[in-house]
Amino acid sequence: MPEWPRAINEEMRQHLDDEYEALRGRGFSHDAAMRALAGDVEEAASLRMRPIDALRTDVRYALRTVGAHPGFSAVVLLTLALGIGATTAVFTVVDAVMLRPYPYPDMPRIMMVSETVRTGQPISIAWPNFQDWRAQNQVFDALGLYRGTVMNLTGGAEPERLIGSLASADVFRAVGMQAIVGRTFTEDEDKPGAPRVVILSDRLWRSHFNADPSVVGRSIVLNGETHAIVGVMPAAMRFPSRVTDVWLPLGLFVPTFPTDRGAHPGLFAVAKLKPGVSVERAVADMDTIARRLERQYPLSNTDHTVSVVPYYEQIVQNIRPALLTLMGAVAFVLLIGCANLANLMLAKAEARQRELAIREALGATRWRVFQQLLTESVLMAVGGGALGALLAWWGVKGFVASRPATVPRVDLIAVDLRVLGFALAVSIATGIVFGLAPALRASSLDLLTSLKDATRASRGAGRRLRSALVVAEVALALVLLTGAGLTMRSFAALTAIDLGFDPSHVVTMRMALPSPRYPDLTKWLAFHRELVQRAAAIPGVEAAGLNSAVPLEGGGSESEVRYEGQPLPQSVSEEATMCLFQAATPDYFRALGIAIVRGRSFDDRDTADRARVAVVEEALVHKFFGDADPIGKRIAFEFTGHGPSAQPLWREIVGVARHVRHYSIAREPATVEVYAPLEQLPIWFRERRPGLTLFVRTPLDPEHMVASVRQTVASLDREIPLYAVQTMDEYVGQATEQPRLNMTLLGLFAALALMLAGLGIYGVLSYIVGRRTLEIGIRLALGATPGDVLRLVVGHGMTLAFAGIAIGLAAAWAITRTMQSLLFGVSPHDPATFAAIAALLGAIAFVASYLPGRRATRVDPVETLRAE
Partner 1 sequence: MQYMKSPALDRELKKGSAELLILSLVEDQPRHGYDLSKLIETRSGGLLTFRVASLYPLLYRLEKRGWIQGRWIEKAGQRRRRYYRLTAAGAQVLEAQRNTWRDFVEAITRITGVEHA
Q: Report d(CA 27, CA 206) in Å as an integer.
A: 92
**Neighbouring C-beta atoms of residue 718, cutoff 10 Å:** 11
H or E stretch at 560: strand 558-560
Nearest distance from residue 36's CB to partner 1, in Å?
7
Q: Which is nearer to partner 1, 39 or 540 (CB)?
A: 39
Quick one: which of 323, 332, 318, 306 has its CA closest to 120? Answer: 306
Q: Which is nearer to partner 1, 22 or 716 (CB)?
A: 22
Q: Which is nearer to partner 1, 15 or 718 (CB)?
A: 15
Q: Which stretch binds partner 1 (CB under 8 A): 44-52, 325-333, 535-543, 590-598?
A: 44-52
CB 111 within 8 A of CB 309: yes
Q: Which is nearer to partner 1, 12 or 806 (CB)?
A: 12
What residues are paired with 528 via a beta bridge? none
Nearest distance from residue 848's CB to partner 1, in Å?
50
Residue 32 in the binding site for partner 1 (CB under 8 A): no
Q: Report d(CA 236, CA 270) in Å as an integer.
A: 17
* Interface pick for partner 1 out of 7, 37, 230, 339 (rule CB under 8 A): 37
- Alpha-carbon separation of residue 700 from 65, 504, 507, 696, 803 (angstroms): 62, 10, 11, 11, 56
Q: Which stretch binds partner 1 (CB under 8 A): 8-16, 77-85, 214-222, 307-315?
A: 8-16
* Interface pick for partner 1 out of 30, 48, 456, 688 (rule CB under 8 A): 48
Q: Which is nearer to partner 1, 11 or 627 (CB)?
A: 11
Q: Which is nearer to partner 1, 47 or 810 (CB)?
A: 47
CB 338 within 8 A of CB 469: no
Q: Which is nearer to partner 1, 15 or 686 (CB)?
A: 15
Nearest distance from residue 40's CB to partner 1, in Å?
4
Count of residues in contact with partner 1, rule CB under 8 A: 19
* Interface pick for partner 1 out of 19, 558, 730, 737 (rule CB under 8 A): 19
Residue 29 in the binding site for partner 1 (CB under 8 A): no
Residue 40 in the binding site for partner 1 (CB under 8 A): yes
Quick one: which of 510, 597, 594 has its CA closest to 549? Answer: 510
Residue 14 in the binding site for partner 1 (CB under 8 A): yes
Residue 34 in the binding site for partner 1 (CB under 8 A): no
Instruction: Report whether the peptide linkage leading into residue 240 is cis, meaning its omega lies within 30 degrees of zero.
Output: yes
Q: Which is nearer to partner 1, 50 or 667 (CB)?
A: 50
Q: What three-state secondary structure class fits 210? A: coil
Q: Which residues contact 10 (CB under 8 A, 6 or more apart)?
A: none
Nearest distance from residue 56's CB to partner 1, in Å?
15
**Neighbouring C-beta atoms of residue 646, cutoff 10 Å:** 15
Q: Which residues contact 81 (CB under 8 A, 6 or more apart)?
A: 384, 385, 387, 388, 390, 391
Q: Which stretch binds partner 1 (CB under 8 A): 9-17, 109-117, 437-445, 796-804?
A: 9-17
* Interface pick for partner 1 out of 24, 31, 35, 44 (rule CB under 8 A): 44
CB 517 within 8 A of CB 698: no
Q: Which residues contact 52 (CB under 8 A, 6 or more apart)?
A: none
Residue 364 in the binding site for partner 1 (CB under 8 A): no
Helix then strand then coil, % of the chain, to nearest 5: 55, 15, 30
CB 756 within 8 A of CB 333: yes
* Interface pick for partner 1 out of 2, 24, 29, 47 (rule CB under 8 A): 47
Residue 36 in the binding site for partner 1 (CB under 8 A): yes
Nearest distance from residue 356's CB to partner 1, in Å?
21
Nearest distance from residue 12's CB to partner 1, in Å?
5
Residue 18 in the binding site for partner 1 (CB under 8 A): yes
Q: Which is nearer to partner 1, 41 or 270 (CB)?
A: 41
E-only strand ranges, 259-377: 268-273, 305-310
Residue 436 in the binding site for partner 1 (CB under 8 A): no
Q: Which is nearer to partner 1, 37 or 800 (CB)?
A: 37
Residue 502 in the binding site for partner 1 (CB under 8 A): no
Contacts 24+ apart (CB under 8 A), 495-500: 495/736, 497/661, 497/665, 497/666, 498/658, 499/551, 499/552, 499/660, 499/661, 499/665, 499/732, 500/551, 500/594, 500/658, 500/659, 500/660, 500/661
**Neighbouring C-beta atoms of residue 326, cutoff 10 Å:** 23
Residue 43 in the binding site for partner 1 (CB under 8 A): yes
Nearest distance from residue 34's CB to partner 1, in Å?
13
Q: Which stretch binds partner 1 (CB under 8 A): 41-49, 334-342, 580-588, 610-618?
A: 41-49
Q: Report d(CA 86, CA 751) in Å as an integer.
A: 12
Q: Which is nearer to partner 1, 18 or 788 (CB)?
A: 18
- Per CB under 8 A, residues contacting partner 1 are 9, 11-12, 14-19, 36-37, 39-41, 43-44, 46-48
